[in-house]
């Protein structure tokens, strides 16, 4: 199952499952798309293994991130409404869909209903380098051989508890949270256990956290890691054209 929650700061709590190269999925047999006029910021993209897609209050850019597995900063071009117009979507297939078929299925839906046309390019991007801070690392290697990822969120509080994953994978998760590429430059190898809690409404330069620290501060205080901005060459998804979806 793939579940993406995006809060007021556009933070994605869970990562989207990457599609296997070259595989195609059957199209949705039914799909209903309606504008969401609520004015709210948060959105949910829920793709359980039953073959049903449920979207609440998501922008087309959010859906592109989910369908192509990219960050916000990796999407270039396209009309301004990609970031503003929000949609509710209900779609279903005849049977269950394997996780590695979810992204191609969503791509087909966006191409069909939003007349979306894209291509990939390589450009210079601003990324974050994940490095060990002076006080770190503050977490321990995994000794159980077991791996798991648990996330939770609430007003002013997000938490991730991890067992037995490499920091390269964690960097990818941070990229989903921040909407920017994060590159693991800690030099630490192996799998680790840790827990991280932060206030998703706080930014890196917030003077005082109302409920908890920003993600940047939490990383340093709780894990002994830091994020540093840097330039890098990376792949982007260029939007050639897109149209607002007609309702049905």
Judge whether 227 lies within some domain. yes
Residues 35 and 133 both lie in one domain: no
Residues 99 and 110 both lie in one domain: yes
Residues 54 and 89 both lie in one domain: yes
The predicted-structure confidence for 94-140, as pLDDT tens digits, reads as follows: 777 777 788 888 899 999 999 999 999 999 989 999 999 999 999 99
DSSP secondary-structure letter at 178? H
Distance CA 27, CA 104 (A): 9
Residues 84 and 129 both lie in one domain: no
DSSP of 1-28: -EEEEE-TT--BSSPPPPPPTT---PPP
Range of the structural domain that residue 9 is part of: 2-122+235-241
The predicted-structure confidence for 86-97, as pLDDT tens digits, reads as follows: 999 998 887 777
Residues 105 and 135 both lie in one domain: no
Entry pTM: 0.68
Judge whether 248 lies within some domain. no
Into how many domains does the chain fold? 2
DSSP secondary-structure letter at 101? G
Residues 147 and 171 both lie in one domain: yes
**Closest residue by Cα to residue 206 from 197, 215, 193, 194:** 215
Judge whether 11 lies within some domain. yes
Residues 96 and 197 both lie in one domain: no
Residues 223 and 153 both lie in one domain: yes
CA-based diameter of the chain, in Å? Answer: 56
- Selected residue with higher pLDDT from 101 and 11: 101
């Amino acid at each position: 199952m793939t579940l993406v929650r995006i809060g007021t700061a556009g933070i994605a709590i869970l990562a989207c499952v990457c599609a296997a190269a070259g595989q195609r999925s059957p199209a949705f047999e039914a799909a209903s798309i309606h504008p969401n006029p609520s004015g709210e910021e948060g959105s949910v993209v829920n793709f359980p293994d039953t073959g049903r897609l449920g979207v609440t209050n998501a922008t087309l850019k959010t859906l592109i991130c989910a369908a192509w597995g990219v960050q916000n900063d990796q999407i270039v071009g396209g009309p301004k409404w990609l970031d503003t117009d929000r949609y509710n979507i209900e779609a279903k297939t005849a049977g269950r869909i394997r996780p590695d078929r979810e992204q191609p299925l969503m791509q087909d839906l966006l191409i069909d209903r939003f007349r979306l046309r894209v291509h990939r390019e390589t450009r210079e991007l601003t990324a974050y380098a994940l490095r060990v801070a002076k006080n770190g690392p503050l977490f321990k290697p995994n000794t159980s051989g077991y791996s798991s990822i648990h996330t939770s969120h609430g007003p002013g509080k997000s938490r991730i508890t991890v067992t037995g994953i490499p920091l390269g994978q964690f960097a990818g998760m941070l990229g989903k949270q921040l909407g920017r590429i994060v590159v693991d430059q800690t030099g630490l190898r192996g799998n680790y256990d840790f827990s991280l809690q932060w206030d998703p409404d706080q930014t890196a330069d917030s003077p005082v956290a109302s409920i908890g620290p920003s993600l940047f501060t939490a990383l340093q205080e709780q894990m002994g890691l830091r994020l540093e901005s840097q330039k890098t060459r990376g792949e982007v998804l260029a939007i050639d054209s897109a149209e607002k979806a007609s309702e049905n």
